[in-house]
A and B are shown apart, each in its own frame.
Chain A
Amino acid sequence: MGILSFIIFTPLAGALLVLILSSAQSKYFKIIALVATILQMIFGIMLFSDFKYGTQLLKTPDGTETVAYGINNPDTFQFVEKGDWISINLGNYGILDIDYYLAVDGLSITMILLSALVFFVSVIASWKIEKNLKGYFALFLLLDMAVVGVFCALDFFLFFMFWEIMLLPMYFLIGIWGGPRREYASIKFFLYTLVGSVFMLLVMVGLYFSVIDPALTAIQAGLVQPGADINAMKAAVLEVQKLLAEGKLSPAVQVHSFNMLHMMNTSNLVPGSIFAVGGEIFGYSARLIAFMALFLGFAIKVPMVPFHTWLPDAHVEAPTPISVILAGVLLKLGGYGMMRICYGIFPEGGVYFCYFIGLMGLISMVYGAFVCLAQTDLKKLIAYSSVSHMGYVLLGMASLETVGMNAAMFQMFNHGTISAMLFLLVGVIYDRTHDRQIPNYRGLATHMPQYTAMVMIAFFASLGLPGFSGFVSEAFTFVGAFNSTYIPKWMAMVGTITILLTAAYYLWTLQRMFFGEVWFKGGDHWRHELSEINRRELTALIPLAAVTVFLGIFPSACLDLMSTSIGYMTQATIENGHKLLEQVSQMAVK
């Protein structure tokens, strides 16, 4: 068991503990959840302090030292945990091999840290939950496990399993502890995400049949003995890949694999299989279709316009801590999945569809911001602002440019902290009055000055004011998009309208709700109920605000962790993407 297993399964242990205890001891449940998330944070910090990045070198298994970039090179991943999980001999169909494969690189480290932070904050926000605590915290911790698991998994099957596990607690957390329309919202969320999962499942199965694990195949084919030294193994792998390309490898000795890193290496593709280079479905490139299918699956999660309408419903109905998790972490799974899986396994899709992705990102940004401007429900406004802000991620990714890609990843992190703050803040007044309508409040700045101060911090952070981390990622997104040779310049230029619209809806909200004379729709009753933000709520908010400000001033603290990996990934995507596209077009000519 390595540290990653601890990070993933600490919450699960907590969940089991909650389930074992009787409901009579419900006061301990939140303590257990809190301890589990704090432990997870501690493991996260340990992970962070041992993580090698930038020029720090990593020892590879064969004794050399290398820069730890990860992405598609198994030797450069860190904290690797790999073990056989399922292995079934399917006779002529080869051998089914599923690994328990966890590892971290620059792409996942920040997401793991973000998850740990957001789940910790959400536990604090869950303090006031009263209904069925046992069920709530058990599901909550299960969700925690699944989310972190997704970020750590490098085996597609394992990834998919965590991905699906995540759906279940989320469904119940919204459906049981949510607002008035919770059933509609939870089913919508569930089904919508499931549609994405179906795409993913199909592509996964196709990939499984198309990819072999060269090392295991070599052993199976008798080219090398198990436990041979590293150089012999490498030679055998090359030999297997050569045999495979020449079509001399019998299907019976082919060990198929769900290992993502094998999927990223086109030498491991079985010629003639569906996702081999040149494979076709209905006359279209199967690999491009697979990219699109995966992309749409993840795009639902991001969410990308027009697949975003589950989000406002889910957010509005979900209880505050679940909204925080939803916006803070769950949306990032989409963007992470795109980078790790879509761009990683099908790089030519990233090159081929860059215009489309950039355009959809741009539409999400601008459209989301316009919709925000018309909202009267504060939570809905913030939900739509998530749509707008996650659009930056797509635009940055589409740029296929180092700055843009870094910005996309950084924007995900920043949106995680900032939107978590925003949802916590909405929760503060909703807890007190059970009303979120903007026109029902006026002059909160006079009535709740500290609360207003926190709201202003969160709003200005979200509208991309310099000094807050959101500015850096948004500015870099535009730099990347403008410098990109893949998407046209006007996309970045039009995109900048978003920063004006974002400022408009936040400042308008400030003007309507917080400034002016004190007036509440609920009159004196509300005036009484609306007590100043309390210490518990501040405890949840301040770490997030601190991270936001710190990264606004020292963005390197986060960017350095990822930039090596992302620079490498960008380069790999472009080079491999062009190469594959070229190969396909040459095949077409033949």
Chain B
Amino acid sequence: MLPDFLEIIKPLAGDSITTMAAIILILPLVTFVVLIFVGNNLPRKGDWFATGIMGLCALLSFIVFFNVWGNQEEHHVRFDWVNLGSGIGSLLPLKFTLGLMVDSMSAIMLVVVTFICFLVHLFSIDYMHGEEHYNRYFAYLGIFTFSMLGIVLADNLLLTYIFWELVGLSSYLLIGFWFKKEAPIRANKKAFLINRIGDIGMFIGMLILFLQFSTLDLSALKILMTESTFEQGKWIITLSSGVKGQVPVTHSLDAFWLTVAGICLFCGCVGKSAQFPLQVWLPDAMEGPTPVSSLIHAATMVAAGVYMVGRIFALLSVDALTVIAFIGMITAFMAAYSAMTQTDLKRVLAFSTISQLGYMVMGLGVGAYDAALFHLVTHAFFKCLLFLTAASVIHAMHHVEHELHHHGKHVHFDPQDMRIMGGLRKKMPVTFWTYFVGTMALAGIPFFSGFLSKDAIIVGGWGWADEMSGNGSNIYYLVPVVGFLTAAMTAFYMGRQMFMTFFGDFRLEKLSEDAKGAFEHVHDATFWMKPALVCLALFTIAPVFVPSLNPVNLTNGHSSWFMHTISIPKAVTPDNNSYISKETLSGISKEHPTSHAPAVTPRQLSIIENAHHRHHAGLVLSLIIGIGSILLAYVFYGSYTKLGPLSKEKIQLVHARITSEESIPYKISYNKWYMDEIYHVVFVQPTVYFSEFTSWFDAKVIDGVVNLVARLNVILGNLSGWFDRWVVDGAVNLSAYLSGRLGSVTRRFQNGDIQSYFIYMLAGVLLVFVFKVIW
């Protein structure tokens, strides 16, 4: 039975859930429009208006969530966006459909996005208070939320791409919010352009899928992928329009295009989720306001890449997934390595974001779909929390600077530099304790949410390596090994940050005489900041995700309500069956039936089973690594705090104790693997030079030829003018002259003398006579 193409992409009416989703989607856009146009005239420039609408969105999202969560059905509304009639030589319609789809995954994302967004709005009211363009800030947040929700709800890759670019725009606007400063406006351009590189890849992936399937609708793609066959290296799909008597259309491509399509689509994720090799934009993006970093560049937008790959997970071939796993691994490691030496409060968190996104991508690559998306959710909460606490610290440091100035003491310092902080926990208890919770989650300490999901990913990677190494290669074990290594580095740099910022003495006071007494000006998070911090901290502890008090369950992500409902989708690419290892062939163990079992391929099941076997070992290893690394950080940086009067030299001395700043490993870490520099030399400069060359070529060569032709024409014109004047006209003048001369000769004969006329006549007659005789 051929799939009926018209049936697959027909318009769908939707239901109350999709209507509510549409309302949630549109409301932030309303905020944007209102605040941009009349924001300045609203009370308080519309901040409460925006926050209120966001609260409403969050409320509606919770309603949607409780209605949808755990149900298998999809709520789907779809309509024709563009209909170009039928294609050449076939009766298949050339249609681009758009619509919204709500299932469990998008429902939880709705909640995560709107709820975090609401909290960030709340936090921003105090944090951004008094900024120029205050209304614009909230307007931009509105358009960001709109586009992000669009990605979440899109039922179609084209629609995803549309919102994908729009979040790029809102990210651009928000990073460059302080557009008078040089750094933000460089950073936002960089972010947009690097994201576009990824987007181009994603776009090409979409082109391939559209070429083969004539639609980009996600649910249609899944059906069509299932119906595809692979024969002799060809990827074949036969589509029928459902009209009786009509010949079905067969599309065929080389099989490797499927892997190409998967990797190309993944490129979108590489850009947006800051994966290697496009991760360089994210640290720079920290130039934006910190709540923005927290919302967009930590919790939601950067996770959109992971979400998108999750959406197309079923279409990814085994080769594509392997690439994804390794990219994720490389990213996680590189970023964690960089994070260990950063001195900027936000940069450490930025690198940790990249690193955690690397984990998620790695999770998807190894097939631990559920764990990866779980990590996406837990990470959204604890990373947002960490950034907001950082914002709180920066806010306090700004306040200190301001107060010192107020007292006539001009101390200049970078309010984000951890080297001048320390001991802040005493003055900022709420900030510290919420930060502590977030750090524990990120460092992967049991009983915090991050442990549950990260552990599940690494163990999943282990199981995957067991399966993949069935072909005799051990290279796949690199993934779990690096996963554990990165976990160790993560706990280390977070411990380092915690000790440097919150423990020991406030080192700013030791920086100069003027800064004495600065500690007194440090204040905790303000009134409207606290609810966000506390709320997010609550969502970071394990029991919120695991409804149990049993410590065994509390350390196992698979016992969470999340992973009970979100299950691994069955891979529908045909090569999933060609990689079955010995273990799988010898029969799948029946001892640990999991909830996933019925819906996945044998290969996937085998990975799940392997991971299950590794669970206990993984748990113990994670535990040791997490706690051990924090202790290690204490050994190195705990003492950092106990120093006496501290000068810059002394700070450097401390660093020298750990690792010399001159040493190559340190430099590589601090300078982010020199990727910016390399890219500048390899890509940016040649592009600029080449553009200058083309411009020169255009002006001198192409236009030169045009002008040369013009000049040749002028010369030709002059030549023909000369010819005309001297040759043509010369001949005319010559003949005139000659006839003139002739005239003046013959004129002499006409002298009016009759006698001479007779002589002429006689001479003439004589001449004729002579002539006749001689002839």
Contact A374 B162 (CB under 8 A): no
Measured between beta carbons, the chain A residues less than 8 angstroms from B181 are: 516
B: number of interface residues (CB 8 Å): 49
Cβ of A447 to closest chain B Cβ, rounded Å: 11
Report, as a range, how many residues of chain A touch the other chain.
35 or more
Cα–Cα, bound, A367→B211 (Å): 27
C-alpha gap A511/B82 in the complex (Å): 35
Closest chain-A Cβ to B645's Cβ sits at a distance in Å of 38
Judge if A341 is at the interface, Cβ distance under 8 Å: no
B414 within 8 A of A: no
- Which of A306, A370, A499 lies at the interface centre, i.e. has the most chain B CB atoms within 10 A of its CB? A370
Confirm or deny: B186 has a beta carbon within 8 angstroms of a beta carbon on chain A: yes
Bound-complex Cα distance A308 to B176 (A): 36
B518 within 8 A of A: no
| Contact, CB under 8 Å: A563 / B204 | no
Smallest CB separation, A305 vs chain B (Å): 8
Contact B82–A559 (Cβ < 8 Å): yes
The 8 A CB mask of B193-232 against A (1 = contact, 0 = none) is 1001101100110011011000000000000000000000
| Interface 9-mer from A121-129, A428-436, A566-574 | A566-574
Contact check, B179 vs A309: say whether CB atoms are below 8 A apart.
no
Q: Which residues of B contact A306 (CB under 8 A)?
A: 702
Residues of B near A516 (CB, < 8 A) are 179-182, 185
**A516–B189 CA distance with the chains assembled, in angstroms:** 13
Whether the pair B87, A402 counts as a contact (CB closer than 8 A) is yes
Shortest distance in angstroms between A480's beta carbon and chain B's nearest beta carbon?
Answer: 10
List residues 491-544 of chain A with CB under 8 A from any CB of chain B.
Answer: 492-493, 496-497, 499-500, 503-504, 507-508, 510-511, 514-517
B189 near A511: Cβ-Cβ < 8 Å:
yes
Q: Is the CB of A478 within 8 A of B203?
A: yes
Separation of A557 and B162 alpha carbons in the complex (Å): 19
Instruction: Compute how far the CA of A574 lies from the CA of B690 in the bound complex, rounded to whole angstroms.
Output: 38
Chain A residues within an 8 Å CB radius of B82: 472, 555-556, 559
- Answer whether residue A471 sits at the interface, using C-beta atoms and an 8 A cutoff: yes
Quick check: A504 and B694 within 8 Å, CB to CB?
A: no
What are 28 pairs between A and B in contact, CB < 8 Å?
A188-B710, A373-B687, A401-B88, A402-B84, A402-B85, A402-B87, A403-B87, A445-B179, A465-B166, A467-B166, A472-B82, A478-B203, A482-B208, A483-B211, A496-B200, A496-B203, A499-B199, A510-B185, A514-B179, A516-B179, A516-B180, A516-B185, A517-B180, A556-B83, A560-B83, A563-B85, A567-B84, A571-B88
Closest to B173 in A: A456
Least Cβ–Cβ distance between B289 and chain A, in angstroms: 16
Structural contact, A556 and B192, CB atoms closer than 8 A: no
13 new A-B contacts, CB < 8 A, other than A466-B166, A472-B82, A567-B84, are A191-B710, A308-B702, A373-B691, A402-B85, A402-B86, A466-B161, A466-B162, A504-B687, A507-B193, A511-B189, A514-B179, A516-B185, A556-B81
Note all chain A residues with C-beta closer than 8 A to B690.
Answer: 370
Chain A positions within 8 Å of B169 at CB level:
460, 465
**1/0 per residue B174-192: CB within 8 Å of A?**
0010011110011001001
Asked, given contacts A403-B94, A483-B210, A516-B182, whether A371 binds B698 with beta carbons under 8 Å apart, the answer is yes
Residues of chain A having any CB pair with chain B under 8 Å:
188, 191-192, 305-306, 308-310, 367, 370-375, 400-403, 406, 443, 445-446, 460, 465-467, 471-472, 475, 478-479, 482-483, 492-493, 496-497, 499-500, 503-504, 507-508, 510-511, 514-517, 555-556, 559-560, 563-564, 567, 570-571, 574
Taken together as a complex, chains A and B put the C-alpha atoms of A510 and B163 apart, in Å, by 22
Contact with A along B81-104 (1 / 0, CB 8 A): 111111110000010000000000
**For B200, what are the chain A residues with a Cβ–Cβ distance below 8 Å?**
496-497, 499-500
CB-CB nearest in chain B for A562: B84
Is the C-beta of B759 less than 8 angstroms from some C-beta in chain A? no
Which residues of chain A are within 8 angstroms of B211 by Cβ–Cβ distance? 482-483
Contact at A309–B703, with CB atoms within 8 Å? Answer: yes
Cβ–Cβ < 8 Å partners of B691 in chain A: 370-374
- Shortest Cβ distance from residue A313 to the other chain B in the assembled complex, whole angstroms: 8
Whether A406 lies near B193 (C-beta < 8 A) is: no
CB distance from A537 to the nearest CB of B (A): 18
Asked whether B196 lies within 8 Å of A500 as measured between CB atoms, the reply is: yes
Given the known inter-chain contacts A309-B706, A475-B203, A483-B211, please indicate yes or no for A515 contacting B180, CB distance below 8 A. Answer: yes
Residues of chain A lying within 8 A (CB to CB) of residue B83: 556, 560, 563
What A residues does B176 contact at CB under 8 A?
515
Separation of A516 and B179 alpha carbons in the complex (Å): 6
A371 contacts B94, CB within 8 Å? no
In the bound complex, CA of A414 to CA of B158 (Å): 20
Measured between beta carbons, the chain B residues less than 8 angstroms from A560 are: 83
Chain B, 683-737, CB within 8 A of any chain A CB: 687-688, 690-692, 694-695, 698, 702-703, 706, 710
- The smallest C-beta distance from A392 to any residue of chain B, in angstroms, reads 14
Q: Are B180 and A367 in contact (CB under 8 A)?
A: no
B166, B182, B690, B695: residue with the most chain A Cβ atoms closer than 10 Å: B695
Contacts of B203 in A (CB 8 A): 475, 478, 496, 499
A72→B691 CA distance, assembly (Å): 43
Residues of A within 8 Å of B207, CB to CB, are 478-479, 482-483, 492-493
Could you tell me if A465 and B189 are in contact, using CB atoms closer than 8 angstroms?
no
Residues of chain B within 8 A (CB-CB) of A567 are 84-86
Assuming the contacts A556-B82, A567-B86, asked whether A500 and B197 have C-beta atoms less than 8 A apart, the reply is yes
Q: Contacts A493-B204, A516-B179 given: A471-B162 contact, CB under 8 Å?
A: yes
The answer, yes or no, to whether B319 is at the interface (CB within 8 Å) is: no
Least Cβ–Cβ distance between B699 and chain A, in angstroms: 8
- The answer to the question of B165 belonging to the interface, with a C-beta cut-off of 8 Å to chain A, is yes
Q: Which residue of A lies closest to B692 (CB)?
A: A374
Least CB distance from A261 to B in Å reads 22
Complex partner residue of A406 from B84, B172, B688, B702, CB under 8 angstroms: B84
Minimum CB–CB distance from B259 to chain A (whole Å) comes to: 16
Cα A267 to Cα B669 with chains together (Å): 76
**Which of B83, B197, B695, B698 has its CB near the most chain A CB atoms (within 10 A)?**
B698
A510 to B82, CA, bound (A): 33
CB distance from A66 to the nearest CB of B (A): 15
Contact of A564 with B204 in the complex, beta carbons under 8 Å: no
Name the residue of chain A whose CB is nearest to the CB of B689. A374
List A contacts of B179 (CB < 8 A): 445-446, 514-516
Q: Are B688 and A574 within 8 A (Cβ)? A: no
Q: Is the CB of A507 within 8 A of B84?
A: no
The answer to whether B186 touches A402 (Cβ under 8 A) is no
Please, which residue of chain B has its CB at the minimum distance from the CB of A369? B691
Chain B residues with Cβ below 8 Å from A472 are 82
Task: Decide: A374 near B193, CB < 8 A? Known: A403-B94, A570-B88.
Answer: no
Cα distance A443–B178 in the bound complex, in angstroms: 12
| Complex Cα gap A514–B692 (Å) | 22
Q: How far is the CB of A571 from chain B (nearest CB, A)?
A: 6
Chain A min CB distance to B191 (Å): 10
Bound Cα distance from A560 to B82, whole angstroms: 8
Q: Which residues of B contact A192 (CB under 8 A)?
A: 706
Chain B residues lying within 8 Å of A570, measured Cβ to Cβ, are 88
User: Are B185 and A511 in touch, CB under 8 angstroms?
Assistant: yes
A287 to B192, CA, bound (A): 48
Please determine whether B688 and A373 come into contact, CB atoms closer than 8 angstroms. Answer: yes
Contact with A507, one of B86, B88, B192, B694 (Cβ below 8 angstroms): B192
**Contact flags B751-765 to A (C-beta < 8 A → 1, else 0):** 000000000000000
**Cβ-defined contact, B196 with A503, below 8 A:** yes
- The CA-CA distance from A191 to B717 in the complex, in Å, is 15
Task: Please name all residues of chain B whose beta carbon is closer than 8 Å to the beta carbon of A402 when the two chains form the complex.
Answer: 84-88, 94
B563-605 vs A, CB cutoff 8 Å, 1 = contact: the mask equals 0000000000000000000000000000000000000000000
How close is B196's CB to chain A, nearest CB, in angstroms?
5
Q: How far is the CA of A39 from the CA of B702 in the complex (A)?
A: 43
Q: Complex formed: what's the CA distance from A365 to B762 in Å? A: 91
A305 nearest CB neighbor, chain B only: B702
Given contacts A402-B87, A500-B193, whether A479 and B210 have CB atoms under 8 Å apart is yes
A371 contacts B196, CB within 8 Å? no
A406-B84, A446-B180 given; A374·B185 CB < 8 A: no
Assembled-state Cα–Cα distance A72/B88 (Å): 18
